[in-house]
Amino acid sequence: MAARVMAIDQGTTGTTVVLLGDQLEVVGRATTEFAQVYPRPGWVEHDPEAIWASVVASIEKALASSGGTVPVAIGITNQRETTVLWDRRTGKPIHNAIVWQCRRTAPLCRTLKERGLEPLFRKRTGLVLDPYFSGTKIRWLLDHVPGARARAEAGELAFGTIDTYLTWRLTGGRVHVTDASNASRTLLMNLETLDWDDDLLALMEVPRAVLPEIRGSSEVYGETWNCPPLPDGVPVAGMAGDQQAALFGQLCFEPGTAKCTYGTGAFLLMNTGGRPVASTNGLLTTVAWRIGDEVTYALEGSAFIAGAAVQWMRDGLGVIQRAEDIETLARQVGDSGGLVFVPALAGLGAPHWRPEARGLIHGIDRGTTLAHLARAVLEGIALQNYDLLGAMQRDFGRALKRLQVDGGAAANDLLMQFQADLIRVDIVRPRVLETTAIGAALLAGLAVGVWKDRESLLAAWSADRRFVPAMPEDEVRRHLERWAAAVAKA
Which of 300, 126, 288 lies closest to 216, judged by CA? 288
**pLDDT under 50 in the chain at which residues?**
none
pLDDT at res. 272: 94
pLDDT at res. 354: 79
| Cβ-contact 482, 338 below 8 angstroms | yes
Pairing of strands 213-215, 177-179: parallel
pLDDT at res. 67: 82
Residue 381, C-beta contacts closer than 8 angstroms, at least 6 positions apart: 262, 266, 303, 305, 306, 309, 343, 409, 415
Our CA angle for 336, 420, 309, nearest 5°, is 50
One-letter amino acid for residue 388 of the chain: L
Pairing of strands 402-406, 427-430: parallel
From CA 180, how far away is CA 186, in angstroms rounded? 10
pLDDT at res. 2: 67
Cis peptide leading into residue 119 (ω within 30°): no
91 three-class SS: coil
490 three-class SS: coil
pLDDT at res. 144: 96
Condensed to tens digits (0 to 9), the pLDDT of residues 137-175 reads: 999 999 999 999 999 999 999 999 999 999 999 999 999
From CA 122, how far away is CA 2, in angstroms rounded? 46
Cα dihedral 377→379→382→387 (10° resolution): -100
Condensed to tens digits (0 to 9), the pLDDT of residues 89-106 reads: 999 999 999 998 888 898
From CA 197, how far away is CA 409, in angstroms rounded? 39
CA distances to 275, 287, 393 from 294, in Å = 10, 11, 23
pLDDT at res. 23: 83
163 three-class SS: helix
pLDDT at res. 285: 94
From CA 10, how far away is CA 12, in angstroms rounded? 7
pLDDT at res. 53: 96
Q: Tell me the residue length of the chain.
A: 490
| Cβ-contact 448, 259 below 8 angstroms | no
122 three-class SS: helix
Radius of gyration of the chain (CA): 22
- State percent of the chain over pLDDT 90: 78
pLDDT at res. 1: 52
Which of 461, 464, 465, 463 lies closest to 21, judged by CA? 461
DSSP secondary structure string, 244-296?
HHHHHHTT--STTEEEEEESSSEEEEEEEESS----SSS-EEEEEEEETTEEE
pTM: 0.88
Query: For 52, left (φ over 0), alpha (ψ -120 to 50), or beta?
Result: alpha
Q: At what angle do helices 242-249 and 435-448 cross, to 10 degrees?
A: 80
Residue 260, C-beta contacts closer than 8 angstroms, at least 6 positions apart: 266, 267, 268, 385, 403, 404, 405, 406, 407, 410, 419
Domains in the chain with CATH codes: 4-243 (3.30.420.40)
